[in-house]
Amino acid sequence: MNGVQHKGEDDDRVFKALASPIRRRMLDLLKESPRTTGELCAELPDIDRTTALQHLRVLEGAELVTGRKVGRERHLALAPLPIKRISDRWIGEYTKAAVDLLGRLGGE
């Protein structure tokens, strides 16, 4: 598999993970501070633990969340690099194009 195709698949996983409001809420909570799985689930009382764990698997598959075992607990943390990669590739490029367009419009 070539690097461009692999990068595209990684981006697809990130976009899929970010498509869910529940997963975005999880990321917001982890952005505030790392949490155990139990703490994260407690912050989401509107969904059951099994559903929360399914969402966490999607986030981990997109490499947006990292987890490590400490005794019986699983400690979760935000992994911001995939979001930065999306920002650099998509948002940054579109912002640059918009600024260039505005510059051309202002110069006319």
The pLDDT tens digits for 69-103 are 999 999 999 998 898 888 887 777 777 777 777 78
Checking if the pLDDT of 1 tops 50, the result is: no
pLDDT, one tens digit per residue, over 36-69 is: 999 999 999 999 999 999 999 999 999 999 999 9
Distances (CA, A) of 85 to 2, 36, 43, 63, 82: 18, 26, 28, 12, 5
Its pTM stands at: 0.77
Give the domains, in start order, of the chain with CATH numbers: 3-79 (1.10.10.10)
Checking if the pLDDT of 23 tops 60, the result is: yes
